[in-house]
Structure 1
Amino acid sequence: MLRRINPYLAGALLIASLASCNPAGKKEKQTEGFARTAETETLLTSLKTMHQHGILFGHHDAPLYGIGWEGDEGRSDVKSVCGDYPAVMSFDLGRIELGRDQSLDKISFEKIREEIIAQYNRGGMSTISWHLDNPVTGGDSWDVSDTTIVASVLPGGANHETFLTWLDHVANFMHSLTTENGVKIPILFRPWHEHTGSWFWWGQNLCTAEQYKALWRLTYDRLCEKKVNNLLYAYSPGSEPNTPEEYLERYPGDDIIDLIGFDCYQFDEAVYEADMHKSLRLITEIAKSHNKALAVTETGYEAIPDPVWWTETLLPILAEYPVSYVVVWRNARERETHYYAPYPGQTSAADFVKFYNDPKTLFANDARELNIYSETVR
Structure 2
Amino acid sequence: MRKLISAIIVFSLFGSSCQFSEEKVKPVKTLEAEQMLVKLKKIPVYGFMFGHHDDPVYGIGWDGDEERSDVKSVCGDYPAVMSFDLGRMEINGDKTLDNVSLDRIRKEVIEQYNRGGMSSFSWHVDNPSTRKDSWDVSDSTVVKSVLPGGNNHAKFIGWLDKLAEYMNSITLEDGTKIPVIFRPWHEHTGSWFWWGQNLCSTEEYKALWRMTYDRLQEKGVTQLLYAYSPGSEPKDSTAYLERYPGDDIIDLIGVDIYQFDKDNYVNDMEKSLDIMTQVSKAHDKVMAVTETGYEAIPDSLWWTETLLPIVEKYPVSYVLVWRNARERENHYYAPYPGQVSEKDFVKFYDSPRTLFSKDMNNIK
- Normalized against structure 1, the TM-score is what? 0.91
Q: Where do 5+ consecutive residues of structure 2 fail to align?
A: 11-23
- After superposition, the Cα gap between the structure-2 partners of 1:264 and 1:33, relative to the gap in structure 1 and judged at 3 Å, is closer
Cross-structure match for 2:113: 120
CA distance 1:33–1:143, change in 2 (3 Å) = closer
| Aligned position for 1:182 | 175
Structure 1: runs of 5+ lacking an equivalent: 13-30, 372-378
8 A contact 2:226–2:251 mirrored in 1: yes
Report the residue type matching 1:217 in the other structure: R
Amino acid at match of 1:222: R
Which residue of structure 1 lines up, in the alignment, with residue 46 of structure 2?
A: 53
Distance 2:354 2:315 in 1: 13
Q: Distance in 2 between matches of 1:107 and 1:214?
A: 30
Give the aligned length. 350
Inter-CA distance 249–58: structure 2 relative to 1 (3 Å threshold): same
Contact 2:27 2:249 in 1 (8 A): no
Map 1:73-112; keep pairs closer than 5 Å: 73-112=66-105
- Residues 99-140 of structure 1 show CA distances to partners (whole Å, capped at 9, x for unaligned) of 521100001111111111111111100000000100000000
SS in 2 for 1:280: helix
Contact map agreement 1:34 1:227 (CA 8 A) in 2:
no
**1:5 and 2:25 aligned:** no
1:129/1:312 CA distance change after superposition, 3 Å: same
Aligned to 2:149: 156
The alignment's C-alpha RMSD in Å is 1.5
Shift of 1:183: 1.9
Equivalent position to 1:311, from 293, 304, 310: 304
SS in structure 2 opposite 1:35?
coil
Moved more, 93-102 or 328-337: 93-102
Q: How far apart are the structure 1 equivalents of 2:29 and 2:274? A: 30
Aligned residues with identical type, % of pairs? 65
How far did residue 4 of structure 1 move? 1.3
Distance 1:293 1:351 in 2: 28
Q: Distance in 2 between matches of 1:74 and 1:369?
A: 22
Residue by residue over 1:333-367, the C-alpha shift from the partner in whole angstroms, topping out at 9 and shown as x without a partner, is 00110000000000000000000000000001111
Deviations along 1:188-221, whole A, 9 cap, x unmatched? 0000000000000000000000000000000000
Query: 1:8, 1:314 → 2: CA distance?
Result: 21
Which residue of 347, 364, 370 corresponds with 2:340? Answer: 347
Q: Distance in 2 between matches of 1:216 and 1:3?
A: 39
Amino acid at match of 2:153: H
Matched residue of 1:255: which SS? Answer: coil
Partner of residue 208, structure 1: 201
- CA deviation vs aligned residue, 1:159-196 (integer Å, no higher than 9, x gap): 00110010001101110110113221101000000000
Say if 1:206 and 1:39 are closer, same or farther in 2 by CA, change over 3 A.
same
Distance 1:100 1:176 in 2: 13
Which residue of the partner structure matches residue 130 of structure 1?
123
Displacement of 1:282 in angstroms is 0.2
The whole-number CA distance in structure 1 between the counterparts of 2:25 and 2:333 is 40
2:242 to 249, 268, 276: 249
1:145 alignment partner in structure 2: 138
Residue type of the alignment partner of 1:5: L
Q: Which amino acid aligns with 2:297?
A: I
Please state how far the C-alpha of 1:368 moved relative to its aligned partner: 2.1
TM-fit CA distance, 1:7: 8.6
One-letter amino acid matched to 2:111: A
Amino acid at match of 1:119: Q
Letter matched to residue 249 of structure 1: E
Task: Render the CA deviation track for 1:10-68: whole Å, top value 9, x for unaligned.
Answer: xx9xxxxxxxxxxxxxxxxxx95783111110111111121001100000000000000
Q: 2:304 touches 2:348 (CA, 8 Å); kept in 1?
A: yes
Instruction: Find the aligned partners of 2:57 and 2:266 in 1 and give their Cα distance.
Output: 30
Structure number with higher helix proportion: 1
Q: SS where residue 327 of structure 2 aligns?
A: coil
CA distance in 2, matches of 1:33, 1:245: 26
Whole-Å Cα distance in 2 between the matches of residues 363 and 78 of structure 1?
A: 10
CA–CA distance in structure 1, aligned partners of residues 147 and 306 of structure 2: 42
Q: In structure 1, the residue corresponding to 2:170 is in which secondary structure?
A: coil
Tell me, yes or no, if structure 1 residue 338 matches structure 2 residue 337: no
Give me the whole-angstrom Cα distance separating, in 2, the residues matched to 1:316 and 1:6.
17
CA contact (8 A) 1:308 1:348 kept: yes
CA deviation digits over 1:198-250, x for unaligned, max 9? 00000000000000000000000000110111000000000000011110110
**How far, CA to CA, are the matches of 1:360 and 1:116 in structure 2?**
24
Amino acid across the alignment from 1:3: R
Q: In the aligned structure 1, how far is the partner of 2:79 from the partner of 2:198?
A: 35
